[in-house]
């Protein structure tokens, strides 16, 4: 995706919903100042901010970060997110390849109620936080977790690790 994808998507989603910046701030918990900065391309949002927008708008993550042709996006907190399958309403799911830099620990706030994540460790070992503790997930193994609670992804190794991450949004 190009660097202005999020900027364009956010503006389009907000306009389509007929929401002012203030109303969007109330709906999503992202400040009006930050929303304005994102829409003007002055600030690139963190994943935590994108999830707040996703939750507030009741839209999947891919609605914010994807444009065809699908490509990766590099976030400033050393995570890459490549959309493999954009959100499909009939299936209620979207799939990403998420890259975690060496030493990276990323914690995510709860997604909306009922959301489930399938995580497959492609090329290295990592740890996943859910139900209150970190658990190992070694290369070639998978986990299905309830993601409507605080959860996290941690790569304590010396090399980047990629996960296959499918997010299910029950209707």
Chain residues in the site for Mn ion (CB under 5 A): 108, 147
162 forms beta bridges with 99
Q: Which is nearer to Mn ion, 37 or 108 (CB)?
A: 108
The vertex-129 CA angle with 50 and 73, nearest 5°, equals: 35
Q: How far is the CB of 111 from Mn ion (least distance, A)?
A: 6
Q: How far is the CB of 18 from Mn ion (least distance, A)?
A: 29
Residue nearest to Mn ion (CB): 108
Q: Phi/psi at 17 (nearest 5 deg)?
A: -80, -5
Q: How far is the CB of 36 from Mn ion (least distance, A)?
A: 26
Q: Which is nearer to Mn ion, 19 or 87 (CB)?
A: 87
Q: Which is nearer to Mn ion, 27 or 48 (CB)?
A: 48
Instruction: Give, for 164, the enclosing helix (H) or strand (E).
Output: strand 161-168
């Amino acid at each position: 995706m190009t660097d202005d994808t999020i900027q364009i998507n956010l503006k389009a989603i907000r306009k389509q919903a007929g929401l002012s910046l203030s109303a969007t701030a109330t709906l999503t918990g992202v400040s009006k100042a930050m929303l304005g900065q994102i829409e003007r391309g002055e600030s690139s949002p963190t994943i935590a901010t994108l999830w707040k927008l996703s939750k507030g708008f009741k839209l999947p993550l891919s609605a914010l970060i994807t444009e065809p042709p699908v490509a990766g996006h590099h976030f400033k907190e050393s995570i890459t997110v490549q959309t493999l399958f954009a959100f499909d309403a009939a299936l209620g799911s979207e799939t990403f390849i998420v890259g975690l830099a060496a030493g990276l620990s990323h914690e995510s706030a709860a997604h909306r109620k009922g959301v489930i994540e399938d995580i497959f460790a492609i090329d290295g070992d990592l740890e996943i936080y859910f139900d209150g503790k970190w658990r190992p997930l070694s290369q070639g193994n998978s986990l299905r977790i309830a993601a409507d609670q605080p959860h996290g992804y941690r790569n304590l190794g010396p090399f980047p690790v990629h996960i296959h991450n499918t997010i299910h949004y029950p209707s």
